[in-house]
Amino acid sequence: MDARVVGAGRGWQWIVEGFALFRRSPAMWLALTIAFVLLWLVSFIIPLLGPLLFSLFTPALVAGLMLGCRALENGEDLEIAHLFAGFKQRAAPLVTIGGIYLVGTILVFGIVFLAAGGSMLAATIGRPGVDLETMSAAIRSLALALAIGAAFYLPLIMLIWFAPLLVVFDGLAPVEAMRSSFSACLKNVPPFLVYGVAILALWFVFSLPAAAGLPGLLLGLALLGVSLPVLICSVYASYKDIFARAGPPASGGNSLLR
């Protein structure tokens, strides 16, 4: 499926449009986000297997949230049931994407582990009387391993960013959806860079109140909590912008959610 190339400013506009969609049903978006996070936390009750299963089913859960975005855009109500709507529509392809993502994530962690020299840092920290030079070398090794891991993990994120939406909205097969997602991200590096920098900047600003004691900490946590559903909605905005809009490429002005 062909992807449009949009202007760099659209990266910020995705966040603006995500917030506009969030404002249509803020209480329900917060409830859906809390439910999603609770499912993630509950997955840790089953050691190892639980988080693996959650990763496997995450694309289906994300697809359900995207269906919720589409419902709001069409004037329908957003419901808790939307979180699981992906399982009712295209469960098998979505779980397939989850399986590919899971295998990719395991491979990336394996690469990080090997690049870090196994458990070098953990062994160094756990050993008494370790000199500063040895500790510094271990930390440098870990930093290099994390950089290598990020270099491998970024293409994996590009593969799955749009894939659940392309499956549920456009009927693409898993591999085709992931290929289209990767191509779309590659064509639109500038807006995604703006998008990523804007998110980091917002999270930094939201964390500043935490320095003002308990009230500030609670305010910071509330702002960060609101940012999560906004980011979910911004993924839908990015899909609409790159795949679903008609007409000439957008340069960053008009909101698709008006």
Are 25 and 232 in contact by the 8 Å Cβ rule? The answer is: no
Are 102 and 56 in contact by the 8 Å Cβ rule? The answer is: yes
At 117, the pLDDT band (50, 70, 90 cuts) reads low
pLDDT of residue 143: 78
Q: How many CB atoms lie within 10 A of CB 187?
A: 16
pTM of the predicted structure, to 2 decimals: 0.83
Per-residue pLDDT for 209 more than 60? yes
Q: 3-class SS at 249?
A: coil
Tell me the per-residue pLDDT of 166-198, one tens digit each, with 9 for 90 and over. Answer: 999 999 999 999 999 999 999 999 999 999 999
CA–CA gap between residue 171 and residue 177 (Å, rounded): 9
Q: How many CB atoms lie within 10 A of CB 136?
A: 11
Tell me the per-residue pLDDT of 9-37, one tens digit each, with 9 for 90 and over. Answer: 999 999 999 999 999 999 999 999 999 99
pLDDT of residue 179: 95
The candidate with the shortest Cα–Cα distance to 69, out of 87, 86, 93, is: 86
